Each structure stands twice: as structure tokens, then as C-alpha cells.
Chains A and B, each alone.
Chain A
Amino acid sequence: MSPDITLIFLSILVPSLGYSVPLILAGTAEVMLERSGVINIGMEGLMLVSAFVAAATAYTTGSLLLGLLSALGIGLIFAIIYSFLILSLSADQIIAGIGLYLLGTGASVLGLYTVFHAAIMPLALPQTLPGIQVYTFGKISYLFFVSIAISIAAYFFLFKTKSGLVVRAIGENPEAADAAGVSISRVRFAVIIIDMLLVSLAGAYLSIDLNPRFVQGMTNGTGFIALAMAAFANWNPLLALLGGVLFGFTEALPLWLSVVMGISYPYQFTNMIPFIAVIVVLAGVIRRVRAPAAVGRIFKRA
């Protein structure tokens, strides 16, 4: 194998893995959440505001760790807001999710003007979270390996533990689980917290790891692709991991084809791939997929 082929391979691998991290984290989070019968369509908003908070905190304090922690703190706040809305007030999950999206998107811009008095961060962060530098192709973040571990752990939790069985039971038939003595709200609250923490981690990754700065709207639909990925993955964390890498690859593909291989075509075609893939899967072309029966349904004790 000539070194050229290795380099050509690395030149597509490194950006693919870079794009895949937030997709894996948010996709896994959404799979777990929907398995418990709750859907969160507002991930994009939380991701944006976490990205902002992480970058702003790291910029002002000079500590990446504090940036990361403050982003997780935002995740926790969003988890409490969302739980209050859908568990305590039995609000519609779609409406509440849109609320989260708008809140997060708006808060990120408001924060930018409040902290930096500007539409941009004046200077980039002096450093980002550590990773493995691969020649000049960029780095493979340690968070990539963390995200793999989280996906695998989520799989074992959902399908190999008793608590995982309870989560899935609540997502399929909350009435039966309730009759069996499980507190629906308590379990869903716990899963919502895990979900929001992972999504805010994905946001922080974008602004203090992959990039040394926050840019308005920098998630560019990652939260929505992750939402679609939960379905694409048939609500299985391991397939969400695979889907994350696959969709990361499709994001990196047009650049690689154009600049490295010299094959040019309109980039819009590749941008469609994740969405086409989801439609194909949901249309049952590849295999049968079935959503957890209680997703998005308000649970009310009779």
C-alpha cells in the first residue's frame, strides 16, 4: 500500500469523524429518549446555546473545562424546563420542543451580543480540547472515542439491563408500566436529563473542540439530522453510532471528491443524502422499522 493511498484515506477519515461526533452524541441521546416515549425536537436550539455558552465561558475564563461544565449546566437547565413542561404540565411534546428550539436559538444570539457586544467573537480561543493531530488533516478529538463509548454503553443499558427494560417498557406501554408500579415521570425525568446533557456536550464539542469559536447558527441543522437519525437507526444506539459516522462521511464527501479527487458536482446533492436516507428507511425500503409506541404521547394516569 503506497503512502499516497493512506493519505487520501486519512483526508476523508479525519473530517468525517470530526462531523460525526455531535451526530453520534445527539443521535444516541435521542434514541434513548424516544425509547422512553419522549421526543425532543428542540435539540438544535440546545446545541446552539450550549455551543455559545461553552465558547463564551472558555473565552472569558480561559478554561476549557469550565466551558464544558457550563454547557452541561445549560443542558441541565433545559432538562428541568422541558421536564416541567411535559411531565408536570403535560404539555404537548412537539410544541414544547419547538419552544426549546426557539429559546436556544434566540438565547445563543442574545448571549453573543450581551457578552461580546458583537455579531462575532472577536478572537478565537487560544486552544481547543485535546485530540490526536493527524498530519495537516486536522485532529481526531478524544470526544470521538467518548461518544463511541457512550453509544455502546447506551446500547447495553437499554437492551441488557433491567433499568433499560423499564425505560423501553415506558416507551411502549406506559399504562402497563404504571400498573406494574413504575413511576413514569421519575424515569422520564432521568432520561431527559441524560438526553439534554449529551446534546449540550455535542454543542460544546462544536465550539471548543472542533472549532475554537462560536458562530451564529453554527450547528447548521445537526440537531435535526440527529432527530432523523433516531428513526434511521431503528431506535438502536449502536445503529445511531453507525449512522453518525455515515452521515459525518456524507458531510465530508463533497469536499474530498472535489478538492482531493478532482471530481466536481453540485454540493447540494450530497447535502440531501441524510434526509433521503431517512425517507428511504422510514418508507420501509431497507427493513421494517417501528417507533416506540408511546413516543410523543402524553401519559395521564386514568
Chain B
Amino acid sequence: MRSVFRKAISTATVAVIIIIVVIAGAVGVYYYSQQSSGGTKPTNQFNVVVDLAGVTGDLGFNDLGVLGAQEAKQQLGVNTTYVQLPDPSQATSILQSEAASGKYNLIITIGFEWLSALNSTAPQYPNQKFVIFDAIPIVAHPNILAVYYAANESSALAGVLAAAYTKTHKIGIVLGIDTPVLYGFAIGFVYGVRWYENMTHTGPDTVQAYFTGSFTDPSKGQAAANTFISNGADVIWAAAGGTGLGAIDAVQAYNQQHPNNPIWAVGVDTDQSFLVPGQMITSVLKHVDNTIVSVIQTAKAGNFHSGVELGDLANGLVGIANLNSLNQTLAFGVAGGKFTTAQENSIYAAQSALLNSQTYQNVLNSYVSVLTSQITSGHVTIPYPQSRSDYNHWAQVYNLQTN
């Protein structure tokens, strides 16, 4: 009896496995045929594929990547398509098949998720041109262009706004894992704070930064923000991915309980003001969409070059949030069905009221624009530490308390 039961189960198991394999295979073949059916392009057309860092609908990098691909198509008359990356482990196989197809004049990959795949694929296809954003290959290849964002410059502008908005003269920075990428953010930000103090003879503000050790732990971000707030900080910058969301939640919770005495949040990477409309003075942005257009434009003109290119304030590839970036994020949210129109309107009303206020405009016109022109004209250079000891040095110079 028992063995009959077992036999039935093993037969069932085998059947289930076969069914799963068949379905998976069928789905794979379907997608493959879909992809390749649109593949035969006229050879005189300039074809570009944009490989996203993840899946669309993040109101961030990936949606900006799609937007960039569309804008390039409209403005430059090139043929663009984009590919999502549901799982970083698929990066190599996606990149290999794109390079092997030979139908793209340019392959643009966004984010460090593609770095190791690029390192292994690029040498195999020396005639294929690759671009990677927001990461630098350790070994330079003659067919890879890396676009690295000068986040220290945009962070400095956010620092100016933070210094202008703090009343308690205490500012907290919630950071993720202790990596060089974040050093430029923190040092640039505190540079902006000190710059504002020098201009206005105010302060000195206490600026504290804390590495939480995670990009995925909102509890840690929340605890860090609450501790900063309890210390008297009234501007909290969350530069820590998912951990940072917890810090922004903490600002929102505080403002719900203390509506008469609000504190401010600062966002990162994309315009995050939709999370706390009217309570986020700015976000430190990387303009992925503009970067795509500019890179394609250069390559189409035949001026592709390998090496590292800086996306900075001067070429407009980094910056801080404004009404445009707000509208962009809201458009993504509405298109993806994430906000209702009512939600969109209330977010826009609250955030645009902040951005259009007299105080805000004064800071922008009197200070942010001044520092911007000082940076873009090269009068001011902001350090971007690449090592921990370098970071410690600059933290000491600008009196940034950090762990």
C-alpha cells in the first residue's frame, strides 16, 4: 500500500517537473521569437539597446532609462530599444546575446549590476561599442565608455539648501554600506553646508553622517533618522537606498505628530519628493535620461571614445530636483498606475508650493545658482574621496562627524 502511494507520488512529481520544463521552454521560445522577430533592421539605421539596472516601474533609474531611450529615438532619429533585468544573474547571458547578434551600434548598460558581465563580454566582441553608467571597469577596455556621475557636485547644492533650511543648525545624513561611492555624496554635501555658512556668516551647523551598513534595512534608516531628530536635527538626508526609505518614513512620522514644527527630508538618485510631498527640500539627481541621449548623440556622430567620462553639473548630467523632475516622477507614477490622479494632484500641489515659495526661490537664486556657476566654471573643486582614509581626512577638514 505504502509503496503504491510512493510510486504514485514519484510519478506525479516527474509529471509536474516535465510540465514545468515544457511550459518554461515554451515561454522562453515565445519571448525569444518575440525579440528576434523585431530584430531585422536596415543596416543604415543607428541601433541602440539600453540595458536597465532592473525592472521598469521603480519611478527611478529604470523608468528614466526607458524615457532616455524614447527621447533619443525622437530627438536623434535613432532606433532604440530597452531590456529589463529582473535578476542580476541574467546580466551576462543578456549582454552576450546582444553582442553576438551584432545588430546594435551601441549597447548601453545602466548600473554596476552589469559591470562583471561587461568585463567578461567586451573583450570577446572588440568591434562592439559598450557604455556603462554609474560604474567604472577596473580594467579599461578600448570598446567601453564608462560614465561616472560627479555626485559630490550635486550633493553640494543639496547641502546649500539643507544649510538654508535648518533652524536648529543640526543636519543628519543616513548612509548605506561604507563604500567609496557614498564618500563623494557625504563630503560634497557637507562642503555645500560650509560654503553656505561662509557666504551668510551663519552656523556652524552640526553635520552628522552615519553608515547603517545596509541598503535594504528600513528599520536601521528609521532608527538613525529618529536618533538624529532626537538630537535636534531638522534636516535629514537619506542616501541609502531601501534603508533611506526608512529615514524618510521617520521624517513623515515626525511631521504627522508635529505639524506646526516640521522638519525636512532630502532625497537621492531620483526625485523622491512623492514620498513626502512638501517636506522634501530637494533630491540629489543623476540624469540617466539625458546621459543616454548625450551618449547616443556622440556615438552617432562617430565620436565614440572609450575611457571614463564624468557626468557633472557642467554637462547637466547631475543636478538637484525641480518642478521638471517632480513632473517626470509623477508621470511615471500615473503611467504605471501607481498614483491616482487625485494623489498626483495633491503631491504636486504640496511639493510645488514648497519649491515655488519665496524662501526657496531666494535660496536657489542667491546661493544655489552661485555655487553652481562656481563649480561649472571651475572656480571651485569639490573633493571626491576614493578611499576611507581620504574620506576621514576630508570629513575632518569640513567637520563632518561620521562613524
With A118-B57, A120-B58, A136-B229 known as contacts, the answer to whether A211 contacts B401 (CB < 8 A) is no
Task: Give Cα A252–Cα B223 distance, bound, in whole angstroms.
Answer: 8
Is B213's CB under 8 angstroms from A271's CB?
yes
Binary per-residue interface labels of chain A (93-119) against chain B in the complex, 1 for a CB within 8 Å, 0 otherwise: 000000000000000000001001111
Which B residues touch A135, using CB under 8 A?
230
B339 within 8 A of A: yes
Q: List the A residue with the shortest CB-CB distance to B216.
A: A217
With A18-B219, A122-B274, A122-B338 known as contacts, the answer to whether A259 contacts B231 (CB < 8 A) is yes
Which B residues touch A252, using CB under 8 A?
223
A216 within 8 A of B: yes
With A213-B245, A259-B228 known as contacts, the answer to whether A117 contacts B57 (CB < 8 A) is yes
Which A residues touch B231, using CB under 8 A?
259-260
A124 within 8 A of B: yes
Which A residues touch B57, using CB under 8 A?
113, 116-119
Q: Which segment of B38-46, B133-141, B246-254, B373-381 sits at the interface?
A: B246-254
A82 within 8 A of B: no
In this complex, which of B223, B242, B336, B343 has the most chain A Cβ atoms within 10 angstroms of its Cβ?
B223
A183 to chain B: closest CB distance in Å? 17
Is B59's CB under 8 angstroms from A118's CB?
yes
B333 within 8 A of A: yes
Which B residues touch A206, using CB under 8 A?
219
Which A residues touch B222, using CB under 8 A?
138, 210-211
Interface size of B by CB at 8 A reads 52
Is B242's CB under 8 angstroms from A262's CB?
no
Is A212's CB under 8 angstroms from B249's CB?
yes
Instruction: Identify B230's interface contact among A119, A136, A217, CB under 8 A.
Output: A136
Is B242's CB under 8 angstroms from A218's CB?
yes
A20 to chain B: closest CB distance in Å? 11
B110 to chain A: closest CB distance in Å? 14
Binary per-residue interface labels of chain B (339-351) against chain A in the complex, 1 for a CB within 8 Å, 0 otherwise: 1000100000000
B18 within 8 A of A: no
Task: Give Cα A120–Cα B217 distance, bound, in whole angstroms.
Answer: 13
Is A120's CB under 8 angstroms from B242's CB?
yes
Q: Could you tell me which A residues sit within 8 Å of B by CB distance?
A: 7, 11, 14-15, 18-19, 89, 113, 116-120, 122-124, 133, 135-138, 206, 210-213, 215-218, 220, 251-252, 254-256, 258-260, 262, 264-268, 271
Q: Could you tell me which B residues sit within 8 Å of A by CB distance?
A: 9, 54-60, 62, 86, 172, 178, 208, 210-214, 216-220, 222-224, 226-231, 242, 245-246, 249-250, 252-254, 257, 274-275, 333, 336-339, 343, 401-403
**Additional A-B contact list (14), CB under 8 Å, known A118-B55, A120-B58, A138-B222:** A18-B223, A113-B86, A117-B56, A117-B338, A120-B245, A122-B59, A122-B333, A123-B343, A136-B254, A211-B222, A211-B246, A215-B217, A259-B228, A264-B402
